[in-house]
DNA sequence: TCAAACTGGTTGCATTTGCAACCAATATCG
DNA sequence: CGATATTGGTTGCAAATGCAACCAGTTTGA
């Protein structure tokens, strides 16, 4: 007996991508209004939440490639949203920190992000919790 | 009272992206071994499942941009995995169809995809069903 | 029947990405 | 110590993407 045909529409990675695309796209205009790309927004969000940290720390925390972070940092610095300072502990590393402007932008975007997120959760009703748990398991298990 | 700080780590679009990345990346080497990109694999999968169809139909079915599909089709044709034929109904459209080679590749990849998917579902246990349902809701509601 | 609006598909160009190679500073270890 | 491997971070280059402009057929409607 032959296996049933493969159906892309039941392939979890595909569904995850679709859902990620669909939900992310809705928020894009928000950070795009600040001239930011998705990666930049993520870096900003990490710095906003964790305060001063090094680029590698951001990589580790957000699972983003070094090079992406590097370029995002350059861009954010150019926009005056963050500052670099030499790391006293390690001559190679730089400590990144949001400027006042950066913090203000983070506050504004964070606010909108929370609303966006809440809207999604409302749409999901009780399914939001289990969804989150499942996602975390997939992320961890990778 | 001030709102609690925004935590990227509880932002659904972010979690969805992470999970999508994590699960997709695991499968990438498989189609990469055939010299394919993700979009190419998706187009192949659609044609494999639905048989002959037009490029716009693929766009509609898989929520992929025209231009991405267009280029993927060119590439797949170059690799001898699909053929184009004029659409008798509409002079502008082309009917796409997998070649024998294309079908063979689809069979092989589909096989591996199913295994990959099964591994993910095993890891999720009972959470797989609800996850899928939630994802579909997010995709539809977008 | 013929111009205007529309649709299937491709192309150009500027941006974003991934990967590997690359500096410079730090650890490691004989 | 000094050579070697590691690690923080950047850069170059070759794809992959998004968007808008673009052809060529098709529909609409006066």
**pLDDT for the residue A103:** 96
| Residue B106: inside a domain | yes
| Residue B2: inside a domain | no
**Å: B127 CA to C29 C1':** 49
CATH of the domain at B128: 1.10.10.10
| Residue B132: inside a domain | yes
**pLDDT for the residue A141:** 77
- Dump pLDDT digits (tens) for B95-140: 999 999 999 999 999 999 999 999 999 999 999 999 999 999 999 8
Q: What is the mean pLDDT of residues A33-57?
A: 95
**Is A2 near chain B, with CB under 8 Å?**
no
| Residue B53: inside a domain | yes
| Residue B3: inside a domain | no
DSSP labels for chain A? -PPPPP-GGG-HHHHHHHHHHHHHHHHHHHHHTTT--HHHHHHHHHHHHH-SEEHHHHHHHHT--HHHHHHHHHHHHHTTSEEEEE-SS-SS-EEEEE-HHHHHHHHHHHHHHHHHHHHHHHHHGGGHHHHHHHHHHHHHH-
- Dump pLDDT digits (tens) for A54-113: 999 999 999 999 999 999 999 999 999 999 999 999 999 999 999 999 999 999 999 999
| Residue A65: inside a domain | yes
* Mean predicted lDDT score pLDDT of chain B: 94
- Dump pLDDT digits (tens) for B69-83: 999 999 999 999 999
Q: How many domains does chain A have?
A: 1
User: Which residues in chain A are contacts of B106 at CB distance < 8 A?
Assistant: 6
Structural domain of residue A67, as residue ranges? Answer: 8-141
Question: pLDDT band at A140, cuts 50/70/90?
Answer: confident
Flag if B16 and A25 touch (Cβ within 8 Å): no
Q: Are B109 and B30 in contact (CB under 8 A)?
A: yes
**pLDDT for the residue A1:** 54
| Residue A1: inside a domain | no
Cβ of A38 near strand C (under 7 Å)? The reply is yes
| Residue A2: inside a domain | no
Return the number of other C-beta atoms located less than 10 Å from residue B48's C-beta: 22
Q: What is the mean pLDDT of residues B11-32?
A: 93
> Chain B neighbours among A 96-115 (CB < 8 Å)?
106, 109-111, 113-114
């Amino acid at each position: 007996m032959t296996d049933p045909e493969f159906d892309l529409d039941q392939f979890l990675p595909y569904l995850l991508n679709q859902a990620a695309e669909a939900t992310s796209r809705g928020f894009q205009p928000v950070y795009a209004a600040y001239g930011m790309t998705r990666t930049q927004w993520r870096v900003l969000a990490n710095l906003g939440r964790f305060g001063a940290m090094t680029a590698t720390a951001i990589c580790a925390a957000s699972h983003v490639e070094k090079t992406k972070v590097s370029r995002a940092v350059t861009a954010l610095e150019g926009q005056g949203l963050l500052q670099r300072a030499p790391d006293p502990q390690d001559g190679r590393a730089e400590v990144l920190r949001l400027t006042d402007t950066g913090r203000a932008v983070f506050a504004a975007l964070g606010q909108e992000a929370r609303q966006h997120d809440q809207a999604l959760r409302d749409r999901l009703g009780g399914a939001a919790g289990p969804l989150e748990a499942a996602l975390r398991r997939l992320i961890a298990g990778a």
